[in-house]
Amino acid sequence: MAASLVFRLHDGGPELVREVLLERGWEEYDKGEQEEEDWNLYWRASAFRNSEYHNLLPWQRLNHHPKTVGITRKDCLARNLRRMRSTFGSTLYNFSPTAFILPNDYTRFLSEYTKERLTRGLSAYWICKPVDLSRGRGIFIFEDIKDLVYDSSVIIQRYISNPLLISGYKFDLRIYVCVKSFHPLTVYMHQEGLVRFATEKYNLSSLNNLYAHLTNTSINKFGPFYTTNKERVGQGCKWTMSKFRYFLHSQGINELLLWQRINNIVTLTLLTIAPSVPSSPNCVELFGFDILIDSKFKPWLLEVNYSPALTLDCQADVSVKKGLISDLIDLMNYRSIDSLRERAYQGHKYKQPCYQASQASQVSTLVLSKFKELKSQRRRRSGSQSSQTQTLPLLKVLCQHQPHKISQSQFRQHALVAGCQKYLDLNRIPVARGRIIHANIATATKTQTHTDRALNPILGPHSRTTTAVVNRHTRPAVASCLMDNRALYMSEVTNHDDTETEMEPSGEAYVCSAIPDIPQLGLGSLRSKPAAGSWKLPNIHRYRPVKLPLEGARAPDREKTPPLRVGDFILTFPFNKATLKASQNKLDVKLAIQELHKLTGQLASGSRQSDKKKWREEDMVKKDEGVRTGEEDFESLFWGPKEPLLLSQCCSSTNKLQSIAEHLHDTNLQRQSS
Ligand code: ADP
């Protein structure tokens, strides 16, 4: 019998997370029944307290990283992007509309406003937004400064007055981004997302009509035309990203550069805070990036949402968000059993908070000393012990410790601990077998390198992870290896990581910036090294099989390569060997930005294909000489199209782009007709 994974929801929601996790066989945390620390995932829309990060136990995950307010609060984001613009240049950091934080920047705004008026007359528009509100609350658009009235801290942004319209309706994109880890920076973007429409036709002569200028669902669902069947847009105010993609194809639009630019926006934005976010291996974060596309197909970043809405308002929400959460859980790489949580009750070391591994926690010290005492008494009485009898004192200790209550969970843990040794033994299996399987993969085909070999081996029955399916269709030899490989990997642990009420960063979220720095991996001598290895969670990177190096060659550092695809999540950073290296240890922001810049240039010019050819030729020579280059080990997928291509395939000639567009078009047609 194995322990179910346990989730804990703050304030009873979001309902969607509950639904997905229950379907996957998780249990919901019950305060009355379970111990305070007896959960695997704690989900809340608002920020966690500092102490919650500091007291995290190895099997526990939180759905927020600390200190991300630097991009999730409008004024902080504006300030950070301004800083990056002055460091790295406005050519790269030119994706957010010019912004002023008032009242502080009033004089600067006034001078810009005057300049605009002199050069462009009355055609410059501005949008005013309270810095700490969301869902369109308190927002208005103005042309004349006499209409600017505010009584709290606001940002004034240049209003993108030439948005791309569909049948006259304004829309923006909600892109879901998961930061699996900030150290090393590991970013996934979900291929599905939402397109959010205004429900009245765009018209610059009615700036007060929020139903025409704002795309928030929370506003438009109360509009008079919400349920009307609007030309091309249809009823409601949302499309799925797939539908939008289909629309682009039907218009003959080459979208690849658009997706890459959006990808760049996400990465460049995250790079603004990545070095200052404390390392927190037990956390993941799902951000909602709001992107507006203008009539010249330039994407603009409007804001980053801390807790993107997870309510299901319409069919588009259902098809996008359920899959999104399911993929996010897959990305967290939980095991179907949680033997680490079980073992916590067997041995002291696992009960140390992740960030305080060197300091014994009070509770665990008590448990440990009682446990040791009983254990030595038992030893004195009998020479040998079975694993079954070893578990008994634990329950007793817990009962003595809390004589008033023997919860269901304690009984459950007791029963489970008995089987724990079995799992411990199993842990040894993968290493040996993994090598054999990997050797098979290696001989199968070269294209395997962009598949997700390291995917969660034990995916629940409701897992949406599609990698193997995709690859079975496209690369049959690899797919079967993948499936075999998954079955072999039994491991011990869970791994780490709302409402059209898009939650605003609460006051609490802002407090996060006051968290003292937590010891961070590889961030220079100022930061202390993580203490005992015992607290470190195996993460998804670790399950990647280690390839046996060719004789005489150095073993490549492959275990750190994250899976390229998990469900509909595509790894977007790191995206090549250079960025993988840049993301290890101390994040090299400059190098990462250079690589991004290079890639976009290559995509635009199609030059990468020839580079690739050259590298391959060089690789062949090196291989003939018995040297493993590692180049083939990390070939990224391109975020954007539903059937992701290799990045190198996208960076080819215009003809190639054309055939890709045709392929995507056909795929979509097939999907639509089925
Ligand atoms: P909130 O957090 O309140 O949703 P946003 O910054 O996302 O604030 O703005 C709400 C909506 O206003 C956006 O979804 C978009 O439709 C519109 N909007 C915001 N900023 C701009 C801008 N600079 N130019 C054009 N439209 C904008």
On whether the CB atoms of residues 532 and 349 are closer than 8 A, the answer is: yes
139 lines ligand 1 (CB under 6 A): yes
**Predicted pLDDT at 660:** 56
27 lines ligand 1 (CB under 6 A): no
292 lines ligand 1 (CB under 6 A): yes
**Predicted pLDDT at 195:** 98
589 lines ligand 1 (CB under 6 A): no
Nearest of 310, 269, 107 to residue 593 by alpha carbon: 269
**Predicted pLDDT at 211:** 98
* Average pLDDT over the chain, rounded to an integer: 71
Alpha carbon dihedral 431, 437, 439, 445, in 10-degree steps, equals -140
What are the pLDDT digits (tens) for 225-240? Answer: 999 999 999 999 999 9
Residue of 72, 132, 139 best suited for mutating to test ligand 1, as the one with most atoms within 8 Å of CB: 139
77 lines ligand 1 (CB under 6 A): no
On the question of pLDDT at 576 being above 60, the answer is yes
Closest residue CA from atom 10 of ligand 1 = 136
132 lines ligand 1 (CB under 6 A): no
Q: What ligand 1 atom has the least distance to the C-alpha of 160?
A: 24
Residues sharing a CB contact under 8 Å with residue 229, sequence separation 6 or more, in sequence order? 235
Alpha carbon dihedral 430, 24, 307, 517, in 10-degree steps, equals -30
Give the C-alpha separation, 524 to 443, whole Å. Answer: 40
What are the pLDDT digits (tens) for 443-454? Answer: 333 333 333 333
220 lines ligand 1 (CB under 6 A): no
**Predicted pLDDT at 334:** 81
What are the pLDDT digits (tens) for 513-540? Answer: 333 333 333 222 222 333 322 233 334 3
| CA of residue 267 to ligand 1 center, whole Å | 20
Closest residue CA from atom 19 of ligand 1 = 302
174 lines ligand 1 (CB under 6 A): no
Closest residue CA from atom 1 of ligand 1 = 134
Q: In terms of pLDDT, which residue wins out, 528 or 218?
A: 218
| CA of residue 658 to ligand 1 center, whole Å | 33
Sign of the four-CA dihedral 116, 122, 123, 125? positive
Give the C-alpha separation, 311 to 238, whole Å. Answer: 13
Q: In terms of pLDDT, which residue wins out, 369 or 289?
A: 289
Tell me the average pLDDT across 632-642: 80
Nearest of 295, 286, 417, 279 to residue 354 by alpha carbon: 279
Which runs of consecutive H residues, i.e. helices, occur in 533-632? Answer: 577-583, 589-605, 608-624
| CA of residue 143 to ligand 1 center, whole Å | 16
Q: 490 is written with which tokens?
A: 């039994």
Q: What ligand 1 atom has the least distance to the C-alpha of 305?
A: 2
Give the C-alpha separation, 216 to 102, whole Å. Answer: 23
On whether the CB atoms of residues 437 and 454 are closer than 8 A, the answer is: no
Closest residue CA from atom 20 of ligand 1 = 302
Burial 150-173 (b: 16+ CB within 10 A, else e): eeeebbbbbbbbebbebeebbbbb
Strands 126-130, 140-142: pairing kind: antiparallel
On whether the CB atoms of residues 209 and 172 are closer than 8 A, the answer is: no
**Predicted pLDDT at 218:** 94
Give the C-alpha separation, 22 to 16, whole Å. Answer: 10
Backbone angles phi, psi at 327, to 5 degrees: -65, -35
Alpha carbon dihedral 34, 37, 39, 44, in 10-degree steps, equals 110
| CA of residue 302 to ligand 1 center, whole Å | 6
Q: Residue 68: how many CB atoms within 10 A of its CB?
A: 27
Q: What ligand 1 atom has the least distance to the C-alpha of 215?
A: 16
Give the C-alpha separation, 89 to 143, whole Å. Answer: 29
Which residues share a beta bridge with 128? 140, 156
pTM of the model: 0.72
Q: What ligand 1 atom has the least distance to the C-alpha of 170?
A: 16
Q: What ligand 1 atom has the least distance to the C-alpha of 158?
A: 23
DSSP 266: H
Closest residue CA from atom 21 of ligand 1 = 159
**Predicted pLDDT at 376:** 47
Q: Residue 555: how many CB atoms within 10 A of its CB?
A: 12
**Predicted pLDDT at 341:** 65
138 lines ligand 1 (CB under 6 A): no
Q: What ligand 1 atom has the least distance to the C-alpha of 138?
A: 3
On whether the CB atoms of residues 558 and 628 are closer than 8 A, the answer is: no
Give the C-alpha separation, 414 to 395, whole Å. Answer: 6
Q: What DSSP line would sit under 173-194, residue for residue? A: EEEEEEEEEETTEEEEEES--E
184 lines ligand 1 (CB under 6 A): no
Closest residue CA from atom 27 of ligand 1 = 159
Strands 27-28, 6-9: pairing kind: parallel
| CA of residue 214 to ligand 1 center, whole Å | 6
